[in-house]
Amino acid sequence: MPENPLFDYRPATNPSPLEAGGDPEKGTKAQINISVSAGAQNVYSDRIAVVVPVNTQSGTAFFTENPSIAVNDARWKPVALENDGDELIASDATHYAVTFHNASFKDPVTYPLVFSISGSIATATGDPLLVQVIESSSTKPQGFTKKNPRNLTLPVIEPIFYLRNFLSRNPNRSSIPRTRIDAGDPLQLAWESNGTYFWLYDGINDDPVYDGTATSWFDPSYTISNDTTFVLKASAAGGEQQTDSTQQATDGFESVELYASLTVTVNNPTLTGLTVTGDLSVDGIITGSGGARFDEDNGTFVRIRELRGPGGEHLKVNSTVEVVEGNDVSFAGDLSVDGSITGSGGARFDEDNGTFVRIRELRGPGGEHLKVNSTVEVVEGNDVSFAGDLSVDGSITGSGGARFDEDNGTYVRIRELRGPYGEHLKVNSTLEVIEGNDVTVADSLSVAGNKVVRDGDSIRLWNEQKGGYLYSSDYDYTDDRKYVFIWKPGSLVGGSSWSVSRD
C-alpha cells in the first residue's frame, strides 16, 4: 500500500483567492506556485507529477485549456505521459498532467524547488480547484516508490472588479519592471484588470495619453524628460458609450471605477525650476541654457567645485561677486576683468611658473586713495606709470631707476631723496631748478669732489703766487680803509676769516 508523501507542498496563488466565472469561453487568469519542502530530513526523488482538471466533467473548477506547467530548476525535465515508463498517473481526459524526471536523483532535494501552473480557469458550480501532486521518493538515493497523491484544495470565488500590478516595463524585456529610466527612453506600461475600459493620464496633459480596452500601452513616440506619475483609471461599465452619440446614461447612473498610480523616475531630468531649502550636493556637472540663482538664507552657503562657461566659452558673471570674510578666491589660470574688482579685504597674486597679472587700473575703495601695505616689485623691463599724483608716506627704493616725464606742466613733489642703503645720492643727469624755486642743502655740497661755497660761509683765501693767506691788518689806510696783507703760515693772525654773501 502506498505511503504518504515525504515532501510537504505549499501553494501560493495570484489572485488570492483564485477567481473564476461560469463561462468557459471567458476564463479568468490564474497563477499557482507549489513550493516543495523536505523539512528536517533528507529526501530523494526521481519523479514528481502535477495534475490539474481541464474539463467541466471534473466536477470542480477547471482550466479552460491545458495550462503551462513548469519548474524553477533545470535538473527536473518534463516528460510526456507516454514516455514516463512506470507511470505515476494514468491517462484521464478530464485532467492534464506533467511528470518531471530528476536528472540528479542521487542528490537530496535540499535546494528550493517550485512548480508553476498558469492558465485560465472557470467554474460552473463555484467549487474549488483541486491540484494533485504525486511523488516517487525515498529517504535514500535508491528504492524510490510512488507515494499517495497530495491533494491541494484552492478556493475559488466569483470574480470581483480589480485593478492591480500596474507596472512600467522595458519594451524589449517585458518581464523586467523598470521604474528608473534616462530622459527620452521608451517605456511600456501594463496592468491586470477585469475592467472593460481604461484611461491613462501622465499628469502633464489634461487628455489621457491612452484610452481603450487593452491592458498594456506602448507608444515609441512618447517620451518623458522628468519624473512622471501616471494615473490609470479602470471602469467596469465600459467606455465606448462615451463616443456613441446614440447612448445616453440616465440621471443617477454612476460607473464603478478603480484607480492606480505609478511614478517613473528620470535619471537626468529637465526641470522648469528647482528650489532647494536644504543642501544640494552634485557629484557630476550641472549644465543649463538658462540661469541659476542662489539666495542668501539664514547664513547658508553654496559650495561649487568648479565653474565653467558653456560649450568651452568663458564664464560670464553679470553681477557682483562678494567673497565673505575669511574666504579666498584663487585663479589657476588667467583672470580678465573688463570692469572693476573691489573689495574690503585684500588680493594676493603669487608668482607661479613665470605667470603674471595684468591690471589695467588700481583704485582705492569708495573714491579713497589706494593703499599698498607691501613691497611693490617691478620686474625688469617693465615700468610703473602714474597719470595722476603719487603720494608716498614711506620710501620708494629700487635697483633700477625712476623717470618723471614733463607732461602738460605737471610736476613731482619729493619730500626727501636718499641714496640706497645709506650711500650718497647720485644724480647722473642735468638738474634744472625752475625759476622761482630754490635748492636747499642741509649739509655741505660738493662738486667734483670739492665743496661748494655757500652764502654766509666763513672762508680763508690762499694766494697761490705768494704762498700766504689774505688778511686784513689793524693798520688804517684812511678812516674807512685798511691795509690788506699776505700772511705766511705761522701763528694765526686776526682778520684772516672772510664771510661770503650775495650782492
Same domain, 141 and 13: yes
Instruction: Count structural domains, the chain.
Output: 2
Same domain, 207 and 178: yes
pLDDT (tens digit per residue) in 222-236: 988 899 999 999 998
Mean pLDDT along residues 244-260: 74
Query: Given 157, 182, 200, which residue is the final one in a domain?
Result: 157
Q: Is the pLDDT of residue 489 over 70?
A: no
- Of the pLDDT bands very low, low, confident and very high (cuts 50, 70, 90), residue 238 is low
Q: Write the CB contacts of 100 (distance below 8 Å, at least 6 apart in sequence).
A: 47, 48, 49, 50, 71, 76, 77, 78, 79, 115
Mean pLDDT along residues 456-472: 78
- Of the pLDDT bands very low, low, confident and very high (cuts 50, 70, 90), residue 471 is confident
Domain assignment present for 318: no
- Complete DSSP assignment for 438-459: ----SS--EETTEEPP-TT-EE
The reported pLDDT for the residue numbered 475 is: 74
pLDDT (tens digit per residue) in 277-333: 777 777 777 766 666 666 655 555 666 767 777 777 777 777 777 777 777 777 776
Same domain, 36 and 135: yes
Same domain, 97 and 25: yes
Domain assignment present for 348: no
Using CA atoms, how far residue 490 sits from 259, 459, 485, in Å, is: 136, 18, 14
Same domain, 135 and 20: yes
Length of the chain: 503
Query: Given 157, 185, 201, which residue is the final one in a domain?
Result: 157
- Complete DSSP assignment for 370-439: P---S---PPTT-----SS----SS----SS-------TT-----S----GGGPPP---S---PPTT---
Domain assignment present for 273: no
Domain assignment present for 374: no
Highest mean pLDDT among 19-23, 127-131, 272-276: 127-131
Same domain, 127 and 147: yes
Same domain, 18 and 79: yes
Domain assignment present for 30: yes
Rounded-to-integer distance, Cα 91 and Cα 95, Å: 8
Same domain, 86 and 198: no
Closest to 254 measured CA to CA, from 268, 235, 232: 235
Query: Given 200, 232, 266, which residue is the final one in a domain?
Result: 266
Same domain, 151 and 31: yes
Domain assignment present for 222: yes
Q: What would the grid cell of residue 390 be?
A: 603719487
Domain residues for the domain of 226 are 163-244+255-266
Same domain, 76 and 210: no
CATH number of 101's domain: 2.60.40
Domain assignment present for 68: yes
- Mean pLDDT of the chain, nearest integer: 81
Domain assignment present for 437: no
Which strand (E) or helix (H) includes residue 201? Answer: strand 197-201
At residue 212, what are phi and psi to the nearest 5 degrees?
Answer: 165, -165
Same domain, 37 and 136: yes
The reported pLDDT for the residue numbered 122 is: 92
Question: For the whole model, what pTM was predicted?
Answer: 0.50
- Of the pLDDT bands very low, low, confident and very high (cuts 50, 70, 90), residue 22 is confident
- End-to-end Cα distance, the chain: 160
Mean pLDDT along residues 484-499: 71
Same domain, 36 and 110: yes
Measured from the Cβ of residue 32, the count of other Cβ atoms closer than 10 Å reads 23
- Complete DSSP assignment for 204-262: SSSS-SEEES-SEEE-TT---SS-EEEEEEEESS-SGGGG-TT--PPTT----EEEEEE
